Every structure is written in C-alpha cells, then in structure tokens.
Chain A
Amino acid sequence: MKKNIKIAIASGKGGTGKTFISTNLFNALQKAGEKVSLVDCDAEEPNDREFIAGDFQHSFDVVQKVPVIDEAKCTYCGKCNDYCNYNAIFFLGEQRMIRVLEDHCHGCGACSVACEYDAISEKDDLLGTVANYNVMDSSLLIEARMKVGVHSPVPTIKAAIKSASESEIVLLDSPPGTSCPFIQTVATADYIVLVTEPTPFGLSDLIQSVETLKSLGKRCGVIVNRAGLGNDEVFEYLQQEKIPLVMSVPFDKNIASIYSKGLLVTNEDAEWDQKFNQLYTTILENYGNSSN
C-alpha cells in the first residue's frame, strides 16, 4: 500500500464536519497501526485535542519580526513609511512623529532595508504556538493555535505543517473558507477531501472550493455529511462534475450526540471504525488513479 501521503480535510462552509472526519480518520488509522500525524490547522479555533488524548511533548512559539525605531538615530526621512506596504508605520514628517503599528505589521522586513541610518532594529512578536502531543506509540497530534487578537493565522499554520513533514501519513484539518488560510493548508497536500452538507449553503460553498482547487491543480474527493437532511442537488453536482463521493455520513442524532460529548464514533461503534478504514482505502485508490 502506498505510503507518505498528505491529505487535507477541508470545506468552504464552516461546521460541515471537518473536525469530525479528521479526528475519526486519524483515530481509525492510528488504531490500525499506521504512523500518522494530524495537524489541526484551524488555528483560530483549534478543536482536535478535545477528541484526541495525547501526551504533551513540546511546543514552540511562532513569531514575526516587528520593527523598533530608535528615535535618537531616526532622521524622519520617511523612507521606511514609503517601503511599508501594510500601513504599519504611522509617520508625520513635519511633526517629527513616527510610530510602529504592530497590529498592521506583517514582518516583511522592508522598513529595515529602507532605513539608511541604522535606526530600525527588530524584536519578536508572538503570533501563535505549535504544540505536539504523542498519541500512543507512533502517532502525533500537532496543534496550531493563533494568539487571540492577531490578524492572521497563516504564519502559525505554515509553521505547524512544516513541523509535521516526518510522518508517513499526514492529515491536515483545514480552516474553513477559501481564502488565504485554506490555500496555505491545501497547497501542501497531495489529496483534498472536501466535507459538505446537502443544503444550498453547503453546495454553494462546495462549488467555490472545487473551483479554487481546480485553479491550484489539486484533485479532490467529497464527503457528504448529514446526508438525508436537505436535498439531492449536491449529489447531482458531483455526478455532473465527475467528482468522487468518497463517503456519505447520514444525519443521525446518535452520531451528533457522540460528537457533542467530545467522543469519537470510531471508538464507540466498530462499524464506523471499519468505515473510516475504508475511507482511507478509497482515498488512496482515488489518489492513485488521479496521479496516473
């Protein structure tokens, strides 16, 4: 069987069940003896750890460099302000006033390059943390957690994904949407599983995700969650677009109740454990076919 695969679990719409799929797939594979890492890339609202108990191993801070201006050396020439593409330097030349707006800074370093008077040094600004938890012997949960109030989760997500590269199977629980955080996550994946629900909102966001993945040249399969609720349009769309339906999860109050308590259906119900193992096989088959 093929090894070394990175699978992203994503969805345009929030709350369709990415975390449900990611944590149960991880659990099923881990129990089957695979060496697997799950990266919780939803750095704004990481939740995987509520479902997976692991032993804390280590963590590291994700920082960016923000400028510190030494006003004793500053000549108020304004070149740093010209170089800054993020409006992160507040500058009034005539009043000889200059301030760094750290919330706006992206840490690109352009101002330091701009300054000809050695007036700009840099300090670390905390953006988030990446924590590793050992699960049983050989598996790993990696959690990206953005600091509250930071403008973008992207640097923390990138750092978490980078730290996972050693594992044979890497699962990425992606943030919702199709903007930057989503792209950063799926761009590194070999195969993407889009989780949707059979409602007009679900379908609309699915179409946007599929179009985005097409433009990135990425292949995907779809899981329809809460099937039975809503209508059949999503299934018609998949047929029409020839996108494989890799799994369908019925709307079931029992599954919802297990999830709500922070439990895993793959532990509570042997039939679902088998279904998630089957899901992995289906993904590998589709991935194998698409790369031929």
Chain B
Amino acid sequence: MEIAVISGKGGTGKSSISAAFATMQPNVVLADCDVDAANLYLLFHPTHEKEETFVSGFKAVIDKDQCTNCGLCVSYCRFDAIDEIEEEVLINETSCDGCKLCSRICPSQAISMVQEDDSRMYSGSFRNGKMVYGRLSPGEENSGRLVDIVRDEAKRVANANQFETIIIDGPPGIGCPVISSITGVNKVVIVTEPTLSGLHDLKRTIEVTSKFKLTTSVIINKFDLNTDMATQIEAYCNSLNIHVIAKLPFDRVVVDAMINCKSVIEYAPDSEISKKIMEGYQKINN
C-alpha cells in the first residue's frame, strides 16, 4: 500500500505529518519525494546503504577556439539561451534547456553537451524501517524522473523486506514532480491550512488528483487559526465527497518535536494532535 502525502501550498505541515505516519508502526518504507527540498533525513538520519547518481539533463558548452561566431545557433535556440554579445557567442547556462539542437546544427562542431550529474538517490535504513530519498542539485530539472527513481527503489525495498506500507512525502505545487509522486498510489492525503491561499491551492490540487482518479482525503492542519475558513474548506470537501480525515489544532509541540529530531508521534504520543493524526491514519485505510 502506497500512501502519498502532498499539499498544493507549501509549509502546511506535510513533512511533519508524513513523519508521523512513518512512525506509527514498525516496518515502514518512507520515500521522501520532495527532491527539491528533502528534509525528512534531518529527523531520521538514515544510513546510506545505496547511492545512485542521477543525470538530470544536459547543458550546452561552447568551445571558443572552434567557434567562428557565425551566430547560426542563436537563431535556432528557442529558449533565449544563446546571445551574441560584442561579436562573441555566449550560452546562458540558466536558460539552456539541454535540447542539443545547437550542438547538432553548429557547422564548426564548437558546441558539446555536458551531463548534469550532481543529483543523487539514497537508500538505507532508519529507526522504523527503510528510507529512500532523492536530492536534486540546485538549479537542475527533471525532478519528476528523480521522483520515479525514488519510488521504484522504495517499492523494491518494500518487496525485498516484505514491508507493506510505503509513505511518500511529496513536493509542493501541482507540476511534474507532484504528478510523479502520486501516479498509481493507493491513497492520496492532501494537507491544507485554513487560509484563503490554502483553499485556493487545495482546489487546484484536487483538480490534479481527480484527473488521475485517485482516492483522496484531506487533513486541515492548524484549523483553529481560522475556524471559519476551516469550516468553509470542510464544506468544499464534503461537496466533492472528499473525506476530511483530521482537523489538527495549532500546537507548538510539532515544532518542538522537529527541533528534537523526532516525529510528533515519537515526541509526544499522548498529545491531542498525535491522537488525531492516529485516528486520521486509521480512516485512510477504511
């Protein structure tokens, strides 16, 4: 069973809730698919039993000795990545998409493509089972493909150890890495907060999960910061037959748990918030 925890809006408490889900029972595989800002390793200090290099893409590099400054590549590039400045052709690394067209059409063979290979996938153990995570090197793209690799490894590890539950901590937003994090999972949990932005982002996120016909439930975190908005969000979910499985109060204990490198379930198992997370988790499986 794969459960993906996502949130359109960042900072709603997705990772804290994923951490709680991953520490309620032993023998869990935790997949941190927020490869752009992986954080759960900070709480769980997993061992690195396996490390894989991820080639996220390519960048064009120009050899100035070969270049005749003919400017042909400038006219072909659709990403505004090549400029001719003071009769010198320059490639803007930030804008280059790695399509390789410039390298193919250059009459002087002055452009080559270099691999971007600073991103990694790590797989190992943590105190409650196995953990897999990806770290995308800053500025690189194709995070969706790295998410696929993390999920494949999580499934392999789950099978090899006969662990039944995979908890996926997804990235924020609704783009490619989010879609990669949720395709084919058994359940999606969207964590939202009672703000106008929270509601707006929840709507866009539900649009995505419905598009993929995924069983979706919602957790409203910090619901007591604006109970009217929380009620409005609940009504919206009810109108779509989406189950709100927990309304969690704002509680500093969540931050205190994080500072102590623990999930809230580990740090304060008897707190109200921990009990509500556990109840919510039971409802996902029903």
Interface 0/1 of B239-279, CB less than 8 Å to A: 00000000000001001001101000000000000000000
- Once the chains are docked, how many angstroms separate the CA of A204 from the CA of B258? 12
Q: Shortest Cβ distance from A127 into chain B, in angstroms?
A: 11
Total contacting residues, chain B, CB less than 8 A: 59
Question: For the complex, is B136 an interface residue (Cβ under 8 Å from A)?
Answer: yes
Contact among A44, A108, A257 for B97, CB-based, below 8 A? A108
Closest to B207 in A: A148
- Once the chains are docked, how many angstroms separate the CA of A16 from the CA of B229? 20
Total contacting residues, chain A, CB less than 8 A: 59
| A13-B11, A183-B94 known; A261-B229 Cβ under 8 A | yes
| A108-B79, A187-B94 known; A50-B204 Cβ under 8 A | no
The binding surface of chain A is classed by DSSP as: loop
Closest to B99 in A: A108
Closest to A106 in B: B97
CB within 8 Å: A-B pair count: 174
- Once the chains are docked, how many angstroms separate the CA of A201 from the CA of B225? 22
Q: Are B174 and A152 in contact (CB under 8 A)?
A: no
Provide the residues of chain A in CB contact with B172, threshold 8 Å: 14-15, 45, 176-177
- Once the chains are docked, how many angstroms separate the CA of A255 from the CA of B172? 23
Q: Are A151 and B144 in contact (CB under 8 A)?
A: yes
Chain B contacts with A in 34-59, Cβ cutoff 8 A: 36-37, 39, 42, 58
Q: Are B138 and A200 in contact (CB under 8 A)?
A: no
Interface 0/1 of A163-204, CB less than 8 Å to B: 000000000000111111011100100000000010111001
Chain B contacts with A in 50-99, Cβ cutoff 8 A: 58, 76, 78-80, 94-95, 97-99
Question: For the complex, is B128 an interface residue (Cβ under 8 Å from A)?
Answer: no
Interface residues of B (CB under 8 A from A): 7-12, 15, 36-37, 39, 42, 58, 76, 78-80, 94-95, 97-101, 104-105, 136, 138-141, 143-144, 171-176, 179, 193-198, 200-201, 204, 207-208, 211, 225-226, 229, 252, 255, 258-259, 261
Interface residues of A (CB under 8 A from B): 12-16, 19, 44-45, 47, 50, 65, 83, 85-86, 106-110, 113, 146, 148-153, 158, 175-180, 182-184, 187, 197, 199-201, 204-205, 208, 211-212, 215-216, 229-231, 253, 256-257, 259-262
A sample of 5 more A-B contacts (CB under 8 A), given A151-B176, A260-B195, is: A15-B9, A45-B204, A113-B105, A153-B173, A180-B140
